[in-house]
Structure 1
Amino acid sequence: MTVWTHVFGAACEREGEERRVRWGFLGASQIGRTLAPAMRAAGETLAAVAARSEQRSVAYADAEGFERTEPDYQSLLEAPDIDAVYISLTTDAHVPWSIKALEAGKHVLCEKPLAMNAREVGQLLAVQQQTQRQVMEAFIHPFHPQFDFVRELVTSGQLGELRAANAAFLSRFDKVDDFRWSRERGGGALFDLGCYAVSALLLLLGQPVVWADAQQAFLGSVDVTTTGLLGLPGGMAVTLACSLQAATFQQLSITGSAEHLVMSRPFSSINSPTTVTVGQHQEHFAPVNPYQRMVAHFVAAARGEEPLKLNLTHSLTQAQVLDALFSSATNNRRIWLVPGPGVDDEI
């Protein structure tokens, strides 16, 4: 007997049969065109989509295979047959609509970055604890097999004592009519690409960030390039770089007292082979679809079958680091995330 009433609400109660999760999309985004086929491949149902206009919703639903459209976001959330929602709106809308979705009894998979700041993540966490629904930031890098491989090397001590790490994610983004060029809506390099670097460093190194230093170059109101230095316990510091106006490049490296490790495609590797170089050895990984693996994991977590790999505690810590990087660049000084030498430098 399969009864998922506790997990998915009354709409999901089924006995004697497996039940596909019925997904609703808030937003008809380009990234959703990658996620929608991954959901179908994972055995999920694309039930409904709501976008800024009916014309946009209909075109998206026809192209991606949704059963229907809804006239607006709230109508989709109120639909009793929707079990979970995927939110791919502008960053400033992520937390407000995630909260509404939780209050409507839906599980939430939300595009990165999850929030505009750590305060918003804290608000979302409070609602999530009240509703007992799952919320996850839609990063794909932890769901590629190479990520588990690297994390095992780090945690097992095979690299030796950690000495340095670096993460870079750079690209050239030329689309002019896009929210990424609006700071108020969550645009800029640090939000759009730097969040990957911060998330990966936190997950792989398993250490808290003590302080942050950053420099930013701007185009209008947004940072087109951010470089940062993050201090870890014991005096170690790691570097990160992100840009919306650079030759496309991504890499993550970790150096220990015994070995040096390089991930050539740590963040975006859908259906492409990847290689992790450890000293003189290369570990090769066959192409996989990390979006499909992410969806399968999220559904399993919503069913109560496994804990979330990326819970809101991780998202909160990541947001705190992003806040510190922004503050450092704005104020031109080191920002301490734990009590440091100057109380005025703390956030």
Structure 2
Amino acid sequence: MNQPVAWGVLGCSGIAERRMLPALHEIEGSRIAGLASRAPARAERFAAEHGGTAMSYEEMIDSPAIDAVYLSLPNSLHFEWARRALRAGKHVLCEKPMTISAEQTGELVALAAERGLLLRENFAFLHHPQHEVVRELVERGRLGRLRTFSSAFGVPSPRAGDIRYDPELGAGCLLDVGVYPIRAAQLMLGEGLTVAGATLRVDTDTGVDMAGHALLVSENGVFADLEFGFQHAYRSRYALWGDAAHLSLERAFTPPAEHRPLLRLEEQDHAEEFTLDASHQFRDSLASFAGAVRDGRTPEIERSWLRGARETARLVEAIQETAVRVRQRGAVPS
């Protein structure tokens, strides 16, 4: 494929406006061809600011001018519109979580493989090179034998009326922020994680989960201690603890493009810090996907993305099924 990838943005969301659309303007070999919203005026505003043609969802799916769809709808709508886009022959970059169930995710993965199309879950943080530095330090034995991975992602409560409080739209902190520590645990510990226990704090009236904690175990016995929620001061971190040293990384999931990550490695009588290069993970996520579309093939890396999506969905479902629920009245702002 020699022509630029023609993108359709399906869902004029906040993440699309703040992060993904500006990043699309910065990558070569891509152009914004269409923007779709349920509110025509919003699609028109996005088109005026970012280029492309304002469309309805259906027009975007049917348009032969669109090669790839970036999908940023509410969680419960991901499955329907990703499936329709794949059936129409379009590649799909879907905001996390890919769907709200393991069954739905499995169906999309199978459909993409059958049609020879790209399907990725947009965990942009996986494209930041800081995580490869961490993996290299672990593989070089700097931590000794790894014993525990811990991670936390918490954000202040969204405003009243936010869609993340709506059970019909796939609400809750597990699907919104909890999936990040889950995906990071997979990155560092591999596939085959088991959920040993979990707890969720839920709003009594809506049933929406507001905070959570999960304990996972890897196939070789490493613990993964994960915390997440909507009731916290902002925190985005993970740490790895071995029998020789401890390594920690702050701002692990949503670092600004100009942020220079700081890794801190602590041994019993020695501490060392590594200041890494800044990286624009949203731009890199889009550039990686567009490059794979232009290549016109689905190498092993694409199969890895599909396995990762299925594994994330499986673990989310296992946490939901395992969790002890702590009830809290009035947890959702009114």
The TM-score, its normalising length taken from structure 2, stands at 0.90
In structure 1, distance between residues paired with 2:191 and 2:104: 23
Q: Contact 2:150–2:226 at 8 Å: present in 1 too? A: yes
In structure 1, distance between residues paired with 2:303 and 2:274: 23
Would the alpha carbon gap of residues 290 and 224 (structure 1) be closer, same or farther in structure 2, given more than 3 Å must change?
same
Q: Does 1:108 align with 2:92?
A: yes
Match of 1:52 among 38, 46, 49: 38
Deviations 1:113-144 (A, max 9, x none): 11101111111011111111000001111111
Superposition deviation, residue 331 in structure 1? 7.8
Q: Contact 2:173–2:209 at 8 Å: present in 1 too? A: yes
Deviations 1:7-43 (A, max 9, x none): xxxxxxxxxxx42111001110010011011111012
Superposition deviation, residue 221 in structure 1? 1.9
Alignment RMSD, CA only?
1.7
Gap regions ≥5 residues in structure 2: 327-334
> Which residue number corresponds to residue 129 of structure 2?
145
> Which residue number corresponds to residue 175 of structure 1?
159
Superposition deviation, residue 287 in structure 1? 2.5
Deviations 1:249-271 (A, max 9, x none): 12100011222110111100121
| Larger relative contact order (Cα-Cα within 8 Å, sequence gap ≥ 6) | 2
> Which residue number corresponds to residue 277 of structure 2?
286
Gap regions ≥5 residues in structure 1: 5-17, 333-347
The TM-score, its normalising length taken from structure 1, stands at 0.86
Match of 2:20 among 35, 47, 58: 35
Q: Contact 1:297–1:308 at 8 Å: present in 2 too? A: no
Superposition deviation, residue 302 in structure 1? 2.1
Q: Does 1:311 align with 2:305?
A: yes
Match of 2:243 among 249, 257, 263: 257
How is 1:1-347 mapped onto 2 (pairs within 5 angstroms)?
4=1, 18-33=2-17, 34-43=19-28, 44-63=30-49, 65-70=50-55, 72-219=56-203, 220-271=206-257, 272-279=259-266, 280-304=271-295, 307-308=301-302, 311-329=305-323
In structure 1, distance between residues paired with 2:278 and 2:290: 22
Q: Contact 1:216–1:226 at 8 Å: present in 2 too? A: yes
Q: Contact 2:200–2:325 at 8 Å: present in 1 too? A: no
Q: Contact 1:274–1:284 at 8 Å: present in 2 too? A: yes
Give the SS at the match of 2:291. helix
Number of equivalenced pairs: 314
In structure 1, distance between residues paired with 2:312 and 2:89: 26
Superposition deviation, residue 309 in structure 1? 8.4
